[in-house]
Chains A and B, each alone.
Chain A
Amino acid sequence: MEELSHPRSPSLGSGSPEEIIEEDTNGSSTTGNGDDHSLSQVLEDVDRFLEKLSTAGGNKGDSVEVSDSVEILSKTVESMIDQCSYQSHDSSLDSPAFFGAIDRLSRLTELLEEAPPSPATLGSLNWAGTVLQRTMLYLEDELRTILDHPNDGGCKPEPYGRLDYNNSNSNNNNTSSYKHFRFSAKYYTFNSPSGYHEPIERRPEVEATAVGGGREEEYSFPGFSPEDVLRMNKIADAMIRAGYESECCIIYSVMRRNSFKTELINLGYEIVSIEDLQRMQWDSLEGEIVSWIRIVKECTKSLFGEERKLCDSVFSGRHSNVAGRLFGGLARAVCIQFLNFAEAAVLTKRSAEKLFKFLDMYEAIRDLGCSVGCDGRTEDPEAAIEAAKAQIGKTAVGMFGELEKSIKSDNGRTPVPSGAVHPLTRYTMNYLEYACVYKETLEQVFRQHKPQHRPTAAEEAGRTEFAKQLIRVMELLDSNLEMKSRLYRDPSLRYIFLMNNGRYILQKIKGSPEIHEVMGEPWRRKRSTNLRTYHKNYQRETWYRLLQCLNHGGLSVNGKVSKTVLKERFKSFNSMFDDIHKTQTTWVVSDEQLQSELRVSISAVVTPAYRSFLGRFSQYLDPGRQSEKYIKYQPEDIESLIDELFDGNPISMSRRRT
Chain B
Amino acid sequence: MPATEYQGSFLSRISIRRNQVVSMDGNHEQELEELEIFQKNISERFSDLISDDSSSSSNSASSSEPFLSIAWVRKLLDVFLCCEAEFKAVLIMGRDPSLISKPPLDRLIPELFDRAVKALDICNAVMHGIDSVRQCQKLAEIAAASLEQRPLGEGQARRAKKALAGLLSAMGIDETSGGHKSAERSWSFGRRGGGGGGVSVTKDRGSGQSRASTWGVPKNWSAAKQIQVMSANLVAPRGAEASGLAMPVYIMSIVTVFVMWALVAAIPCQEKTGLATHFQVPRQLGWAQSMVWLHEKIGEELKKKEKKGASPVGLLEEIQKMEKLGQSLLEFSDGFQYPVPEEKLDEAAAQVADLTETCRRMEDGLVPLQHQIREVFHRIVRSRTEVLDVLDHAGKSSAPSV
The verdict on A254 contacting chain B, using a C-beta distance below 8 Å, is yes
The verdict on A409 contacting chain B, using a C-beta distance below 8 Å, is yes
Whether A133 contacts B208 by the Cβ 8 Å rule is no
Complex CA distance for A20 and B219, rounded to whole angstroms: 59
Which of B30-38, B90-98, B120-128, B350-358 lies on the face that meets chain A?
B120-128
The residues of A that contact B183 with a CB separation of less than 8 Å are 144, 250-251, 254-255
The 3 closest A-B pairs by CB, nearest first: A129-B155, A133-B155, A126-B153
Whether B151 contacts A117 by the Cβ 8 Å rule is yes
A603 CB, min distance to chain B CBs, angstroms: 48
Tell me how many residues of B have a C-beta within 8 Å of chain A: 60
Which of B77-85, B131-139, B277-285 lies on the face that meets chain A?
B131-139
Within 8 A of B (CB), among A126-176: 126, 128-134, 136-137, 141, 144-145, 148-149
Whether A1 contacts B206 by the Cβ 8 Å rule is yes
Closest residue of B by beta carbon distance from A117: B151
Which of B100-108, B197-205, B253-261, B321-329 lies on the face that meets chain A?
B197-205
Q: Please encode chain A, from 248 to 285, with 1 for each CB lying within 8 Å of some chain B CB and 0 for all others.
A: 00110011011001100100001111111010000000
- A–B pairs, 27, beta carbons within 8 Å: A3-B180, A13-B338, A126-B155, A134-B155, A137-B158, A141-B205, A148-B201, A148-B208, A250-B184, A254-B186, A257-B212, A258-B199, A258-B212, A261-B213, A262-B201, A265-B198, A271-B213, A272-B218, A273-B217, A275-B118, A275-B121, A278-B117, A336-B215, A344-B120, A349-B401, A378-B367, A379-B367
The residues of A that contact B219 with a CB separation of less than 8 Å are 271
Closest residue of A by beta carbon distance from B120: A274
B264 CB, min distance to chain A CBs, angstroms: 15
The verdict on A346 contacting chain B, using a C-beta distance below 8 Å, is yes
The verdict on B381 contacting chain A, using a C-beta distance below 8 Å, is yes
The residues of A that contact B158 with a CB separation of less than 8 Å are 3, 130, 133-134, 137
Whether B208 contacts A10 by the Cβ 8 Å rule is no
Interface of A toward B, CB cutoff 8 Å: 1-3, 10-11, 13, 109, 113, 117, 122, 125-126, 128-134, 136-137, 141, 144-145, 148-149, 246-247, 250-251, 254-255, 257-258, 261-262, 265, 270-276, 278, 333, 336-337, 340, 343-344, 346-347, 349, 378-379, 384, 387, 391, 394, 409
Whether B153 contacts A255 by the Cβ 8 Å rule is no
Closest residue of B by beta carbon distance from A394: B385
Closest residue of A by beta carbon distance from B186: A254
Whether A11 contacts B156 by the Cβ 8 Å rule is no
The residues of A that contact B154 with a CB separation of less than 8 Å are 10-11, 126, 129-130, 133
The verdict on B361 contacting chain A, using a C-beta distance below 8 Å, is no
Q: Can you name 18 extra interface pairs (CB under 8 A) apart from A251-B182, A347-B381?
A: A11-B338, A109-B155, A126-B151, A130-B153, A130-B154, A137-B158, A144-B182, A149-B203, A250-B184, A261-B199, A265-B199, A271-B213, A274-B124, A275-B117, A275-B118, A344-B120, A349-B402, A394-B385
Whether A2 contacts B210 by the Cβ 8 Å rule is no
Complex CA distance for A262 and B367, rounded to whole angstroms: 26
Within 8 A of A (CB), among B218-245: 218-219, 221
Interface of B toward A, CB cutoff 8 Å: 117-118, 120-121, 124, 127, 131, 135, 138-139, 141-142, 149, 151, 153-156, 158-159, 162-163, 178, 180, 182-184, 186-187, 198-199, 201, 203, 205-208, 210, 212-219, 221, 337-339, 367, 374, 377-378, 381, 384-385, 397, 401-402
A226 CB, min distance to chain B CBs, angstroms: 22
Complex CA distance for A130 and B160, rounded to whole angstroms: 12
Whether A145 contacts B156 by the Cβ 8 Å rule is no
The residues of A that contact B216 with a CB separation of less than 8 Å are 271, 337, 340
A517 CB, min distance to chain B CBs, angstroms: 32
Whether A130 contacts B121 by the Cβ 8 Å rule is no
The residues of A that contact B124 with a CB separation of less than 8 Å are 274, 340
A91 CB, min distance to chain B CBs, angstroms: 16
Q: Which of A136, A145, A336, A347 contacts B384 (CB 8 A)?
A: A347
Assuming A125-B151, A262-B201, is B138 touching A250 (CB within 8 A)? Answer: yes
Assuming A133-B159, A258-B199, is B217 touching A250 (CB within 8 A)? Answer: no
Complex CA distance for A233 and B363, rounded to whole angstroms: 29
Whether B217 contacts A271 by the Cβ 8 Å rule is yes
Complex CA distance for A109 and B198, rounded to whole angstroms: 43
Complex CA distance for A273 and B213, rounded to whole angstroms: 14
Closest residue of A by beta carbon distance from B151: A122
Q: Which of A126, A255, A344, A384 contacts B338 (CB 8 A)?
A: A126
A284 CB, min distance to chain B CBs, angstroms: 15
Q: Which of A132, A255, A262, A333 contacts B155 (CB 8 A)?
A: A132
Whether A274 contacts B121 by the Cβ 8 Å rule is yes
Closest residue of A by beta carbon distance from B219: A271
Residue picked from B215, B221, B338, B381, most chain A C-beta under 10 Å: B338
Whether B198 contacts A258 by the Cβ 8 Å rule is no
Closest residue of A by beta carbon distance from B125: A273
Whether B218 contacts A271 by the Cβ 8 Å rule is yes
Complex CA distance for A257 and B397, rounded to whole angstroms: 46
A271 CB, min distance to chain B CBs, angstroms: 5
Q: Which of A125, A250, A337 contacts B153 (CB 8 A)?
A: A125
The residues of A that contact B127 with a CB separation of less than 8 Å are 336
Whether A384 contacts B374 by the Cβ 8 Å rule is yes
Whether B337 contacts A250 by the Cβ 8 Å rule is no
Complex CA distance for A561 and B180, rounded to whole angstroms: 123
B227 CB, min distance to chain A CBs, angstroms: 13
Complex CA distance for A346 and B377, rounded to whole angstroms: 13
B358 CB, min distance to chain A CBs, angstroms: 17
The residues of A that contact B384 with a CB separation of less than 8 Å are 347
Complex CA distance for A148 and B216, rounded to whole angstroms: 23
Closest residue of B by beta carbon distance from A344: B120
A25 CB, min distance to chain B CBs, angstroms: 19
Closest residue of A by beta carbon distance from B384: A347
Complex CA distance for A45 and B214, rounded to whole angstroms: 51
The residues of B that contact A270 with a CB separation of less than 8 Å are 218
Whether A387 contacts B338 by the Cβ 8 Å rule is no
The residues of A that contact B208 with a CB separation of less than 8 Å are 141, 144-145, 148
Residue picked from B206, B208, B402, most chain A C-beta under 10 Å: B208
The residues of B that contact A394 with a CB separation of less than 8 Å are 385
A270 CB, min distance to chain B CBs, angstroms: 8
Assuming A271-B216, A275-B121, is B151 touching A133 (CB within 8 A)? Answer: no
Q: Which of B205, B210, B221, B378 contacts A273 (CB 8 A)?
A: B221
The residues of B that contact A409 with a CB separation of less than 8 Å are 397
Closest residue of B by beta carbon distance from A340: B124
Whether A391 contacts B381 by the Cβ 8 Å rule is yes
Closest residue of B by beta carbon distance from A262: B199
Complex CA distance for A254 and B117, rounded to whole angstroms: 30
The residues of B that contact A274 with a CB separation of less than 8 Å are 117, 120-121, 124
Complex CA distance for A238 and B17, rounded to whole angstroms: 68
Residue picked from B117, B139, B184, B378, most chain A C-beta under 10 Å: B117
Closest residue of A by beta carbon distance from B210: A258
The residues of A that contact B221 with a CB separation of less than 8 Å are 273
Complex CA distance for A575 and B117, rounded to whole angstroms: 70
Whether B186 contacts A337 by the Cβ 8 Å rule is no
A478 CB, min distance to chain B CBs, angstroms: 22
Whether B378 contacts A387 by the Cβ 8 Å rule is yes
B308 CB, min distance to chain A CBs, angstroms: 27
Q: Which of B182, B210, B215, B402 contacts A333 (CB 8 A)?
A: B215
Complex CA distance for A137 and B199, rounded to whole angstroms: 25
Whether A261 contacts B215 by the Cβ 8 Å rule is yes
The residues of B that contact A129 with a CB separation of less than 8 Å are 153-156
Complex CA distance for A262 and B197, rounded to whole angstroms: 12
Complex CA distance for A131 and B216, rounded to whole angstroms: 41
A393 CB, min distance to chain B CBs, angstroms: 13
Whether A258 contacts B184 by the Cβ 8 Å rule is no
Complex CA distance for A622 and B75, rounded to whole angstroms: 109
Complex CA distance for A275 and B260, rounded to whole angstroms: 15
B101 CB, min distance to chain A CBs, angstroms: 16
Closest residue of A by beta carbon distance from B116: A347
Whether B178 contacts A2 by the Cβ 8 Å rule is yes
A8 CB, min distance to chain B CBs, angstroms: 9
Whether A13 contacts B339 by the Cβ 8 Å rule is yes
